[in-house]
């Protein structure tokens, strides 16, 4: 059963979504991965994932194409899904943002994005122009909510000032082993300001370092260490996460991790 974060705007986001990095390739498209990628997406849709996170950068747009195809082929209603995509740092000019969004929608075969993020900050990026375009996309109904990714606190605050609506999320690396965005104050700021912190690489791309505490807690809950790592994340207010797996059993484990309730003592051990 899915658990959700609901923002004051009414936006309701699943605590655990599905990331699409490596779907369709890496930095470039790899058609040899299409069958595997489509099987992974169909499985995730069948299991009940409703938040899918993609980007024009992923497989050079091919991840978006495959996600759109999987949605159409499985017959899942678009309105039941929450689709996030991202604009690359090289497309942050006013006209470039508009073109990038149009291209993402074309590849997805969809009329709108639920959330559209600036993927990475860039040196000397024209943030005022970026947000002029993003605000226009919201006004035109092509984007419903705006967010950012990999932004520090000064950039997030600047984005809030430029956004005509509200910044709904900052997507950053966050896991048991990577707490840099706790140390720099981002997590606390997001929690205090009703901004979702979307944790990517939540199990450190399969390199999660096991520990005696993590193993003991996993055993106590008849769960895997990866499930406990995800549960630790999403038990925190205003934190959601987007793990990715091509293995249906692991996909199911990831999705049900949100149902695991850790005690204060267990959280203290993990902290």
Q: Which residues 6+ apart lie within 8 Å of 194 measured at CB? A: 7, 8, 166, 238
State the DSSP code for 178.
Answer: B
Nearest to 208 by CA among 245, 238, 171, 237: 245
The whole-angstrom separation of Cα 113 and Cα 85 is 7
Which DSSP string corresponds to 192-203? HTT-EEEEESTT
**Tokens 């293995």 -> residue:** 247
Alpha-carbon separation of residue 211 from 176, 182, 227, 228 (angstroms): 11, 21, 14, 12
Helix, strand, or coil (residue 107): helix
Q: How many helices and strands, by DSSP H and E, does the chain display?
A: 11, 10
Under 8 Å between Cβ of 51 and 76: no
Under 8 Å between Cβ of 24 and 65: yes
Residue 183: other Cβ atoms inside 10 A: 8
The whole-angstrom separation of Cα 244 and Cα 54 is 11
Instruction: Tell me, yes or no, if 4 is annotated catalytic.
Output: no
Question: Which residue in the list 49, 58, 116, 174 is annotated as catalytic?
Answer: 58
Residues tagged active-site: 58
């Amino acid at each position: 059963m899915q658990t959700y974060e609901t923002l004051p705007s009414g936006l309701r986001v699943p605590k655990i979504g599905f990331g699409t990095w490596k779907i369709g390739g890496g930095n470039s498209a790899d058609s040899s991965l299409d069958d595997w990628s489509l099987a992974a997406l169909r499985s995730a849709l069948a299991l009940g994932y409703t938040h899918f996170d993609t980007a024009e950068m992923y497989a050079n747009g091919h991840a978006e194409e495959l996600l759109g195809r999987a949605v159409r082929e499985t017959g899942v209603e678009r309105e039941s899904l929450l689709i996030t995509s991202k604009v690359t740092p090289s497309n942050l000019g006013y006209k470039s943002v508009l073109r990038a969004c149009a291209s993402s929608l074309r590849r997805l075969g969809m009329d709108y994005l639920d959330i559209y993020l600036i993927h990475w900050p860039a040196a000397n990026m024209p943030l005022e122009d970026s947000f002029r375009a993003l605000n226009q996309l919201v006004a035109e109904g092509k984007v419903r909510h705006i967010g950012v990714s990999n932004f520090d606190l000064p950039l997030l605050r600047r984005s809030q000032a430029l956004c005509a609506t509200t910044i709904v999320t900052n997507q950053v690396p966050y896991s048991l082993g990577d707490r840099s965005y706790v140390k720099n104050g981002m997590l606390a700021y997001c929690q205090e300001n009703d901004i979702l912190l979307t944790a990517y690489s939540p199990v450190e791309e399969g390199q999660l370092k096991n520990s005696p505490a993590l193993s003991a807690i996993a055993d106590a809950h008849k769960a895997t260490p990866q499930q406990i790592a995800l549960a630790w994340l999403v038990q925190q207010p205003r934190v959601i996460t987007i793990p990715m797996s091509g293995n249906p059993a692991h996909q199911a484990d990831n999705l049900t991790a949100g149902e695991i309730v850790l005690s204060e003592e267990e959280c203290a051990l993990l902290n």
